[in-house]
Amino acid sequence: MILGASLALLLLLASCTGRHYQMNGVYSAPDGKEVWLIDAAAQDTLAMTTVQDGRFAFEGKVDAPFYAYVGHGKERIHLILEPGTVTVDLDERTADGLPMMDAYNDFHKRFYGYKRDQRKEKAALTDSVVLANPDNLVGALALEDLAYVDTSRFLALHAQVSDKVRDFYLVRKAYDAIQVQNRTAAGQPFTDYLIKGGNPDGSDVKLSDYVGRGKLILLDHWASWCGPCKAEMPFIKKTWAAFHGDRFDVVSIAVSDKREDTERALSQLDMPWHQILDAQKIPGALYGINAIPHLILFAPDGTILQRGLRGEQIYAAIEEALR
């Protein structure tokens, strides 16, 4: 009886040890600064510790690998947390020592080692990693990296992985964004929306107040804090000055911005065309906009003609469309 109880205890201890993780961290921060361990998918705080002599540590049990981030505010890194010992360096933004994290780190380094236009090489690498990991976080994270590089290959791989990978929140977000972009691609009709209080005078405004009313409309998504947005303004102004009238007009719509900041920027910038304020995330969600500036050109009937115009492309696109 005693032997049986001892054996059961040993098995229990072995099981617990097999689910144990140890995180040893380096962080050049003052003693006492908080470091948080958070479940990234659930946005659930799992533990908190403090820095002592440039170091911190976490330990605990993990039933299954999960995606987490560790750090303080923006000084954090993401990692795949699983049983074992992981070394985290918040100064260098690195995490290694766990099999799945090391496998993804190797993929990530190779994937982003390719140049921006090397889509085939990136897709081939992702193919090999995802198909070798169709049911775990390595495959899920690699697939998400491909989403905005080669959407067609992303969708092909998406059909071959497990439901678990498809349901991973970053993969699901990427898939949904691609579906939105497909519905709002060139050749598709515009999707209308309402911005309450969006006019400068505080009245409500709809996209259809401008789009689909017989004019070419260039819709400029921008924000007061966005440097690249401001860099596009001379190109937009040149185009508006040359062509605005009965057949063409420009509308700038402020997204993810405080209304007072937008109004302050408008008082400083020369933007004499139509303005929509306080749109926040509404246009981005409906049109799959992941970054600004983002310009969309609509035909007189509201059909989407082009997306993503920049610089001298703006003037050339309007000149061609008005011929």
- The string of pLDDT tens digits covering residues 233-265 is 999 999 999 999 999 999 999 999 999 999 999
Number of independent structural domains in the chain: 3
pLDDT score recorded for residue 196: 98
Least confident interval from 52-66, 87-101, 174-188, 212-226: 174-188
| Predicted pLDDT at 117 | 87
Task: Give the pLDDT of residue 4.
Answer: 41
Average pLDDT over residues 22-47: 97
What is residue 290's predicted lDDT score, i.e. its pLDDT? 82
Residues 200 and 126 in one domain: no
Q: Is residue 308 part of a domain?
A: yes
- What the block records as the tokens of 254 is 């402020």
Task: Give the CATH number for residue 91.
Answer: 2.60.40
pLDDT in tens, 143-198: 999 998 899 999 999 999 999 999 999 999 999 989 998 999 999 999 999 999 99
Calculate the CA 58 to chain-centre distance: 28
Domain boundary pick from 95, 120, 139: 95
Same-domain pairing of 211 and 315: yes
Read off the pLDDT band of 11 (50, 70, 90). Answer: very low
Same domain, 65 and 113: no
What tokens does 223 get? 């924000």
Judgement on whether residues 206 and 286 belong to the same structural domain of the protein: yes
Residues 226 and 168 in one domain: no
Q: Which of 301, 296, 288, 303 is nearest to 318 (CA)?
A: 296
Question: Which of 90-94, 114-118, 247-251 has the lowest average pLDDT?
Answer: 114-118
Asked if residue 70 is part of any domain, the answer here is: yes
pTM of the model: 0.72
Question: Which range has the worst mean pLDDT, 11-20, 74-83, 247-256?
Answer: 11-20
pLDDT of residue 315: 97
Instruction: Reply yes or no on whether the pLDDT at 12 is more than 50.
Output: no
Shared domain check, 205 and 151: no
Would residue 188 count as lying in a domain? no
Which neighbouring-strand residues pair with 25? 56, 88
Same domain as 62, residue 29 = yes
Same domain, 75 and 148: no
Evaluate if residue 5 carries a pLDDT over 90. Answer: no
With beta carbons less than 8 A apart as the criterion, state whether 157 and 139 touch: no
Query: For residue 13, what pLDDT is reported?
Result: 40
217 located within any domain: yes
Residues 317 and 199 in one domain: yes
Sign of CA dihedral 283, 285, 289, 293: positive
| Residues 191, 149: Cα–Cα separation, whole Å | 25
Same domain membership, residue 286 and residue 237: yes
Residues 308, 254 share a domain:
yes
In a domain, 257, yes or no: yes
> Which residues constitute the domain of residue 28?
2-95
- For residue 78, being part of any structural domain is answered with yes
Nearest to 320 by CA among 304, 302, 306: 306
- pLDDT, one tens digit per residue, over 275-303 is 999 999 999 999 988 889 999 999 999 99
189 found inside a domain: no
CA Rg value for the chain: 25
Any domain includes 275? yes
Task: Pick the last residue of a domain from 61, 95, 129.
Answer: 95
pLDDT of residue 51 exceeding 90, the answer is yes
φ, ψ of residue 266 in degrees (nearest 5): -65, -30
Calpha distance 229→202 (Å, rounded): 24
Which of 67, 95, 123 delimits the end of a domain?
Answer: 95
Mean pLDDT of 271-278: 97
- CA-closest candidate to residue 255, choices 288, 297, 231: 288
Give me the CATH number covering residue 229.
3.40.30.10
Provide the mean pLDDT of the chain.
Answer: 93
Residue 8 has pLDDT above 50, yes or no: no
Peptide bond preceding 99: is omega within 30 degrees of 0, i.e. cis? no
pLDDT in the model for residue 23: 98
Residue bearing the bigger pLDDT, 5 or 151: 151
Give yes or no: residues 66 and 112 share one domain: no
